[in-house]
A and B are shown apart, each in its own frame.
Chain A
Amino acid sequence: MKADLVNLGVGQAGAIAILGYLVVFLGLVLLMLVVLAMASYFISKAKKPAPAAGPAEEPVAKAAPAAEKPKAPAAPGTAGELKLYDTDPKDAAMIMAIVADATGKPLNELRFKSIKEVKE
């Protein structure tokens, strides 16, 4: 324990409070910049088109048709795929019904993109 900081004066306490708040802000702003840089790297990486397969790799690619199997086309009128994270399909169906009921809108007018469990 730093003895000179046990009994603080008002001015000293005010200075520590302001400095502390600035340090928290500075720390999180710097972290935000790091996360933004990280995000821009991953986004640009995701946007880059996959490199064209070389001639030597072609036969291998053809030999594995299962990997290239195209997705089945979406059913007419569908709002797209719903992604579930840590959520049972049964729970998801119940959540969608609850949301439809709470918002007073029929399910065919709502679009659910993903359902994620938030743990306590």
Chain B
Amino acid sequence: MNVLETLKTLALESGFASFFMAGGWKNFIMIIIAFVLLYLGIVKKFEPLLLCGIAFGCLLSNLSYFVVHMGGDNALYHPELWEAFLDSSSPYYHSYGHIMSNAGLLDFFYIGVKAGIYPSLIFMGVGAMTDFGPLLSNPKSLLLGAAAQLGVFVAFFGAVLLGFTGPQAASIGIIGGADGPTAIYLTTKLAPELLGPIAIAAYSYMALIPLIQPPIMKLFTTPEMRVVKMEQTREVSKTEKIVFPIVVSTFVILLLPSTAPLIGCLMFGNLARETGVTDRLSDTMQNALMNIVTIFLATSVGATMVGDNFLKLDTIKIIILGLIAFSISTIGGLLGGVAMYYGSGKKINPLIGSAGVSAVPMAARVSQDVGRKYNKTNFLLMHAMGPNVAGVIGSAIAAGFLLSVFG
């Protein structure tokens, strides 16, 4: 055995050598990006449960993908398999068999994203964790949840102006709904090639809500509005809480059938929470199931961030459009809040409007914090939870509309 020759072969087949091959530098940059995302998740605590998984998925796929260039195949995620899966002229169009016979570990995980399973299961967990009481005690907060979807459609329009196709623009716009699972669900259906940047933008901006929203809240409300103390709302009975998910599922799904997976799972989770006879199911949905699905969802979404797919001008456009979508949704919610402030005879604090962007419960907490900054005895949290959970339903309806138009 020629020792030198063996060492040379080992060196050439290593991942380090791949960085100097065609396109290898892109994987190197993605590895650096993965480190930055891990830093943001671990040290800055930006949505750590998701961002850490996304970053590690990105790291794993880029660490292993080089082997494809070198004739071997130890890649954990294969973008070329998924391209063939989506290409209607390919013999492997919509062939899960082809994926499964050639898949790496993260390809298997990604099947759950592609089939829309993980976002729906996450919605089930969200439903099991959400108390719709504040919304039921003040149903008008549904209007704020609707007003705060403004950014979705403004960003959609902006994306078309920037040259994105209709389905891509719809997927970018939904970032304004501030709802990660909805954004992932819609993007997987309409523009899977943009999944990585859209998921990163959606979750990063959700984590940055405490920084993004307060200046906008200050700009669109007066000091007089911000100090308004709202009256305690009525107490909602147990029966009402049990009937609510059944009524919403029936009504919304009949109205917009494409919302069925998201609204159906959200409301089933909520029913399990409220019935009082399915505590074990509710507990599993809130904890074990949610955690397991979060692991699969985050790592497989991160895996799609392979250098060739991610390092494009489009990614920068998506990041900018996402910020615009988020900000305009906040403005929409605040304007709705201002309208309700005047409509109610100055009894509603418009700061609760910004919570209509979904992102439960972070956006409601921001309303509470900003409200308390101007009036120490003001407690807006439960009032803001109404528009906050209305935003979840609103963003699912927006996604359902876009899916029925472009799907």
Residues of chain A whose beta carbon lies under 8 Å from any beta carbon of chain B: 1-2, 5-8, 10, 13-14, 16-18, 20-21, 23-25, 27-32, 34-36, 38-39, 42-43, 46, 85, 102-105, 113-114, 116, 118-120
Contacting residue for B157 out of A17, A25, A28, CB 8 A: A17
Bound Cα distance from A38 to B278, whole angstroms: 24
Any A CB within 8 A of the CB of B407: yes
Interface of A is mostly: helix
Bound Cα distance from A120 to B126, whole angstroms: 9
Q: Report yes or no: B136 in contact with A35, Cβ–Cβ below 8 A.
A: yes
Q: Report chain B residues within 8 Å CB of A114.
A: 235
Bound Cα distance from A114 to B398, whole angstroms: 34
Given A103-B377, A119-B286, A120-B361, also A38-B244 (CB < 8 A):
yes
Q: Report chain B residues within 8 Å CB of A10.
A: 160-161
Binary contact readout B236-261 vs A (1 if CB under 8 angstroms, 0 otherwise):
01011001100110011001100000
Bound Cα distance from A13 to B159, whole angstroms: 10
Q: Which 3 pairs between the two chains have the least Cβ-Cβ distance? A: A13-B160, A17-B153, A28-B146
Residues of chain B whose beta carbon lies under 8 Å from any beta carbon of chain A: 129-131, 133, 135-136, 139-140, 142-143, 145-147, 149-150, 152-154, 156-157, 160-161, 165-167, 169, 190, 232, 234-235, 237, 239-240, 243-244, 247-248, 251-252, 255-256, 286, 361-362, 364, 372, 376-377, 381-382, 385, 390, 393-394, 397-398, 401-402, 405-407
Q: Report chain A residues within 8 Å CB of B156.
A: 13, 16-17, 20
Q: Report yes or no: A28 in contact with B401, Cβ–Cβ below 8 A.
A: no
Q: Report chain B residues within 8 Å CB of A16.
A: 156, 166, 405
Q: Report yes or no: B150 in contact with A32, Cβ–Cβ below 8 A.
A: no
Contacting residue for B153 out of A2, A20, A102, CB 8 A: A20
Q: Report chain A residues within 8 Å CB of B150.
A: 21
Q: Report chain A residues within 8 Å CB of B406.
A: 1-2, 5
Bound Cα distance from A46 to B251, whole angstroms: 25
Q: Report yes or no: A104 in contact with B376, Cβ–Cβ below 8 A.
A: yes
Q: Report chain A residues within 8 Å CB of B251.
A: 30-31, 34
Contacting residue for A21 out of B129, B131, B153, B244, CB 8 A: B153
Contacting residue for B361 out of A14, A18, A38, A118, CB 8 A: A118
Bound Cα distance from A10 to B135, whole angstroms: 37
A92 shortest CB reach to chain B, Å: 15
Q: Report yes or no: A28 in contact with B393, Cβ–Cβ below 8 A.
A: yes
Q: Report chain B residues within 8 Å CB of A23.
A: 256, 397, 401
Q: Report chain B residues within 8 Å CB of A28.
A: 142-143, 145-146, 390, 393-394, 397
Q: Report yes or no: B385 in contact with A42, Cβ–Cβ below 8 A.
A: no
A16 shortest CB reach to chain B, Å: 6
Bound Cα distance from A120 to B361, whole angstroms: 6
Q: Report yes or no: A6 in contact with B166, Cβ–Cβ below 8 A.
A: yes
Nearest to A27 among chain B residues (CB) is B397
Q: Report yes or no: A27 in contact with B252, Cβ–Cβ below 8 A.
A: yes
A2 shortest CB reach to chain B, Å: 6
Nearest to B391 among chain A residues (CB) is A28
Additional pairs, 12, CB under 8 Å, beyond known A13-B160, A27-B146, A39-B136: A1-B190, A8-B160, A25-B143, A25-B146, A28-B394, A28-B397, A30-B251, A31-B252, A34-B247, A35-B139, A38-B244, A116-B382
Bound Cα distance from A24 to B169, whole angstroms: 18
Bound Cα distance from A81 to B117, whole angstroms: 44
Q: Report yes or no: A42 in contact with B237, Cβ–Cβ below 8 A.
A: yes
Q: Report yes or no: A118 in contact with B398, Cβ–Cβ below 8 A.
A: no
Given A24-B149, A27-B255, also A32-B139 (CB < 8 A):
yes
Q: Report chain B residues within 8 Å CB of A36.
A: 139
Contacting residue for A6 out of B130, B165, B286, CB 8 A: B165
Contacting residue for B256 out of A1, A25, A27, A38, CB 8 A: A27
